[in-house]
Chains A and B, each alone.
Chain A
């Protein structure tokens, strides 16, 4: 197809934004994630992660 003669209204266009991860929910029931004990980065992930899990319901 001769691109010079293509109808611009029917030429598919790629969106400018490619989403990799949507924004976190703003629903208070979803966002009430209690992070457990920080303990200097990555110390108690079992509690952190399960905290996130249970708050997500």
Chain B
């Protein structure tokens, strides 16, 4: 270890009681320093005028943009002579907290992003239908009666096989999506039955997930479990819209709640209960201005039902309803303001850390250096619509003028999928694989760039002010509480292991 070093431009400082936490955005590493260590090491970790060297309370909102991408050479330092500090330098170097003066972190991040874009595993989303049995007022999709046929399933299978074989892939992921995917359960079973032998034969590890409303699952718990076992579905996202009254009003049956002996809340509760411990279940708690007060009470119910016990594999989290697409633009009227939601979300994460091991659900509880911000920008991701259309973004689903071609017209070169020739399309489809946050004026200078990568590419392409603001506010308000909560939970967990059981 020799030469000149400089602090990483992506170090963040977070106060934790009497100690200091330092997070690095390039490596996702986290260290804790007591006051003495902080006094000795902070000159190596932060440039004197670096806003990252101040905690959120000291920095005015809006200062997330860095004045320069890389710390100026004048902040370069030589290694200390003190043996303890020298030993610490080796650790800081391994965690990317300090780097060689000639190292360009921005270029490293950009190269990593481009490499992950082109060398990504196959990720397939299959939309078995664009229809749904529920009529949620906020739904962003353009729904229509449809059902994926066996012929389309066969074409998808050929598509998958071609990519796996030509790129010699040994892993892939398939997500079932809708509409409500369980409205066309036969397509799920048909495609799975043919895909699994191929994957087993070619030693391909294929994982499966689903996003479902939970109301069309078998009544019998045994049948529910048998279904996920036979289809190898390993994780499912279900949504709750508050306590039963609010949930049933928002997630109402299209043909009227009175026609159904079981409410949508009760049907979902039964499904989640049946799958407890069998698959990972992510419970998205949708909040708007009318049900936001339900979140904590709902989790208390989950607790009473045993859903938060060790081994239950159930992970609730908050989500803010908003105007994702023109179809649900009116939702803005009922949306929880960004700042209020972020405060609730921070409180909720802290609350949840009493029940779950945050390391088990770190995607939502710890800021990670992202390989990619969204699969839409990855070259080998594709969404198959029920009629064989190809899409890149779930929010484009159902808008055929935004599709990226059709299975019947796909050429021998499957990827990357580019926007179809959209002669009459207004607006035209986005070229998602060309997305580049490193060329963006604000994102390229932002201290949260490695953990955010600009957020949703569709939002960036369309300059959706509502969600651009939401993304920036999220990091400004949530970053420090998230890191602090994660560190607190880890340390609580270590302490509890040290104490004798009662």
Residue numbers of A with Cβ under 8 A of B are 13, 15-24, 28, 31-55, 57
A-B contact pairs, 22 of them (CB 8 A): A17-B31, A17-B91, A21-B28, A21-B30, A21-B486, A24-B27, A24-B368, A34-B121, A34-B372, A35-B373, A35-B375, A36-B125, A38-B374, A42-B317, A43-B319, A46-B175, A46-B235, A46-B280, A47-B125, A47-B209, A47-B211, A47-B235
Among the listed stretches B33-41, B184-192, B260-268, B412-420, which one makes contact with chain A, having 4 or more residues with CB under 8 Å of it? B33-41
Beta-carbon nearest neighbor of A36 in chain B:
B375
**A16-B37, A39-B395 known; A45-B284 Cβ under 8 A:** yes
Bound-state Cα–Cα, A23 to B457, Å: 27
Among the listed stretches B71-79, B81-89, B294-302, which one makes contact with chain A, having 4 or more residues with CB under 8 Å of it? B81-89
Residues of chain B with a CB closer than 8 A to A48's CB: 363
Beta-carbon nearest neighbor of B119 in chain A:
A32
| Interchain CB contact under 8 A, A34 and B29 | no
| Interchain CB contact under 8 A, B474 and A41 | yes
- Number of B positions contacting A (CB below 8 A): 82
| Interchain CB contact under 8 A, B371 and A15 | no
Task: Give the Cβ gap from B190 to chain A, nearest Cβ, in Å.
Answer: 21
Given contact pairs A34-B123, A47-B209, enumerate 7 new A-B contacts (beta carbons under 8 Å).
A21-B29, A23-B96, A28-B119, A34-B371, A39-B456, A42-B319, A50-B280
Beta-carbon nearest neighbor of A45 in chain B:
B282
| Residues from 1 to 58 in B contacting A, C-beta threshold 8 Å | 21, 24, 27-34, 37, 40-41
Bound-state Cα–Cα, A21 to B34, Å: 16
Confirm or deny: B308 has a beta carbon within 8 angstroms of a beta carbon on chain A: no
Residues of chain B with a CB closer than 8 A to A39's CB: 324, 374, 394-395, 456
Task: Give the Cβ gap from A45 to chain B, nearest Cβ, in Å.
Answer: 4
Bound-state Cα–Cα, A15 to B34, Å: 10
Beta-carbon nearest neighbor of B26 in chain A:
A23
Confirm or deny: B490 has a beta carbon within 8 angstroms of a beta carbon on chain A: yes
Sorted nearest first, the 8 A-B pairs with minimum C-beta distance are A46-B237, A23-B27, A38-B374, A21-B30, A54-B207, A23-B29, A16-B37, A16-B88
Dominant secondary structure of chain A at its interface with chain B: loop
| Interchain CB contact under 8 A, A20 and B375 | no
Beta-carbon nearest neighbor of B36 in chain A:
A16
| Interchain CB contact under 8 A, B32 and A18 | yes
Beta-carbon nearest neighbor of B459 in chain A:
A40
| Interchain CB contact under 8 A, A38 and B457 | yes
Bound-state Cα–Cα, A49 to B233, Å: 13
Bound-state Cα–Cα, A47 to B127, Å: 14
Residues of chain B with a CB closer than 8 A to A23's CB: 24, 27-29, 94-96
| Interchain CB contact under 8 A, A20 and B210 | no
Pick the residue among B235, B368, B474 that contacts A50 (CB under 8 A).
Answer: B235
| Interchain CB contact under 8 A, B24 and A15 | no
| Interchain CB contact under 8 A, A17 and B33 | yes
Task: Give the Cβ gap from B413 to chain A, nearest Cβ, in Å.
Answer: 20
| Interchain CB contact under 8 A, B455 and A41 | yes
Confirm or deny: B370 has a beta carbon within 8 angstroms of a beta carbon on chain A: yes
Pick the residue among B34, B123, B369, B459 that contacts A51 (CB under 8 A).
Answer: B123
Beta-carbon nearest neighbor of B393 in chain A:
A37
Residues of chain B with a CB closer than 8 A to A35's CB: 370-375
| Interchain CB contact under 8 A, A45 and B369 | no
Beta-carbon nearest neighbor of A23 in chain B:
B27
Task: Give the Cβ gap from B254 to chain A, nearest Cβ, in Å.
Answer: 22
Candidate in A18, A31, A41, A42 with the most chain B CB atoms within 10 angstroms: A41
Residues of chain B with a CB closer than 8 A to A24's CB: 27-29, 368-369
Confirm or deny: B403 has a beta carbon within 8 angstroms of a beta carbon on chain A: no
**A20-B32, A38-B457 known; A45-B237 Cβ under 8 A:** yes
| Interchain CB contact under 8 A, A38 and B373 | yes
| Interchain CB contact under 8 A, B171 and A57 | yes
Residues of chain B with a CB closer than 8 A to A16's CB: 33, 37, 40-41, 84-85, 87-88
**A20-B31, A54-B171 known; A32-B235 Cβ under 8 A:** no
| Interchain CB contact under 8 A, A54 and B173 | yes
Confirm or deny: B449 has a beta carbon within 8 angstroms of a beta carbon on chain A: no
Confirm or deny: B353 has a beta carbon within 8 angstroms of a beta carbon on chain A: no
| Interchain CB contact under 8 A, A37 and B37 | no
| Residues from 454 to 489 in B contacting A, C-beta threshold 8 Å | 455-457, 459, 467, 470-471, 474, 486-487
Task: Give the Cβ gap from B314 to chain A, nearest Cβ, in Å.
Answer: 12
Candidate in A19, A21, A24 with the most chain B CB atoms within 10 angstroms: A21
Residues of chain A with a CB closer than 8 A to B470's CB: 40-41
Pick the residue among A18, A40, A57 that contacts B324 (CB under 8 A).
Answer: A40
| Interchain CB contact under 8 A, B235 and A15 | no
| Interchain CB contact under 8 A, B361 and A49 | yes
Bound-state Cα–Cα, A47 to B33, Å: 35
